[in-house]
């Protein structure tokens, strides 16, 4: 019996800053014929009808209208991570293409990083000092009030780490009770009561610049803002002013806009801020699990089976 040809899947590149990890390639090649963007552009006429799926890693390749038009037999786009704000879901759907992501693969790793940022900021671990001054004292996290804005999978994983009091702005009654949390109907109440405010929301038109000058002024002057969601959720100009003027004590950001920030950006000059380069899901096990989830979703879509982690417009 003739061996069936593996499905053709488009990727950005192998290795490098925006490429598929080299140690993932062996596993991927067991299931797919991998086509890089360079190979596709050089052999478009030959490959355009063969490609059935796009494998997006670190937001690349970009699933724009031009690329979608050039792939008439495309069935599914699998994107690594939980956020899909880099995808135009309505546009993709108009081409009859399904979208899937990997929200559960990244939840533990991203929650861990959120806690790492909170602890590092509270204890001022990364400040550059030449000696230990009397006022170089950190804050205790034990017994503090943590306000989580966004009670999705990642927010829930943060909450499970057992804090003395946790406030949520988005209510899920069963999860609220499971972690002993107090629900805040208004975000203003959460901001006023929290020692640490952690942002774990999706980027939508409603959450764009969710935290601005007004919201920062509602926070305690001793509070810390932590963002592990998306950069545009915070008004960075307002944040810079708040940090400089003592409106809040500190901030810790794993996400910015743009990424990375230009080297001359004012936020990079402040001592009371920690900025990491979008490391939320950057663990060996999380990345491997994302890759496996994406393979399963692509194979399911191409076989006409229910698609795990299907994203709807």
- Catalytically active residues, by annotation: 230, 259, 278
β-partners of residue 36 are 11
Spatial distance between the Cα atoms of 211 and 60, rounded to a whole number of angstroms: 28
Question: Residue 229 in 3-state DSSP?
Answer: coil
For residue 193, give both structure tokens. Answer: 């009561």
Spatial distance between the Cα atoms of 145 and 166, rounded to a whole number of angstroms: 6
Q: Do 206 and 178 meet the contact criterion of CB atoms below 8 Å apart?
A: no
Q: In whole angstroms, how far apart are CA 3 and each of 6, 123, 304?
A: 9, 60, 20
Residue-wise burial string across 160-197, b where 16 or more C-beta atoms lie within 10 A, e elsewhere = eeebeebbbbbeeeebbeebebebbeebebbbebbbbb
Q: In whole angstroms, how far apart are CA 222 and each of 81, 139, 141, 192, 194?
A: 33, 9, 12, 11, 10
Residue with tokens 């059935």: 52
| Rounded (to 5) percent helix, strand, coil in the chain | 35, 20, 50
Residue-wise burial string across 258-283, b where 16 or more C-beta atoms lie within 10 A, e elsewhere = eeebeeeeebeebebbbbbebebbeb
């Amino acid at each position: 019996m003739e061996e069936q040809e593996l499905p053709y899947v488009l990727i950005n590149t192998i290795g490098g800053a925006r490429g598929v990890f080299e140690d993932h390639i062996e596993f991927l090649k067991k299931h797919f014929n991998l086509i890089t963007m360079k190979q596709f552009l050089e052999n478009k006429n030959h490959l355009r009808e063969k490609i059935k799926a796009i494998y997006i890693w670190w937001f690349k390749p970009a699933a724009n209208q031009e690329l979608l038009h050039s792939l008439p037999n495309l069935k599914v786009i699998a994107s690594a991570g939980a956020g899909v704000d880099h995808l135009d879901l309505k546009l993709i759907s108009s081409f009859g293409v399904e979208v899937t992501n990997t929200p559960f693969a990244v939840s533990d790793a991203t929650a861990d990083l959120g806690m790492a940022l909170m602890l590092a900021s509270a204890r001022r671990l990364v400040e550059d000092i030449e000696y230990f001054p009397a006022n170089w004292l950190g804050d205790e996290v034990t017994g503090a009030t943590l306000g989580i804005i966004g009670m999705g999978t990642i927010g829930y994983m943060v909450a499970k780490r057992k804090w003395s009091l946790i406030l949520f702005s988005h209510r899920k009654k069963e999860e609220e009770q499971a972690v002993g949390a107090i629900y805040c109907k208004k975000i203003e109440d959460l901001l006023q009561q929290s020692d640490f405010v952690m942002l774990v929301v999706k980027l939508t038109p409603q959450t764009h610049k969710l935290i601005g000058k007004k919201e920062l002024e509602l926070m305690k002057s001793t509070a810390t803002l932590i963002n592990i969601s998306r950069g545009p959720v915070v008004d960075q100009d307002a944040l810079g002013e708040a940090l400089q003027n003592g409106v809040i004590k500190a901030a810790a950001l794993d996400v910015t806009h743009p990424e990375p920030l230009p080297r001359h950006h004012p936020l990079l000059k402040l001592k009371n801020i920690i900025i990491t380069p979008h490391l939320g899901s950057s663990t060996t096990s999380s990345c491997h699990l994302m890759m496996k989830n994406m393979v399963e979703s692509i194979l399911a879509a191409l076989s006409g089976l229910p698609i795990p982690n299907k994203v709807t417009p």
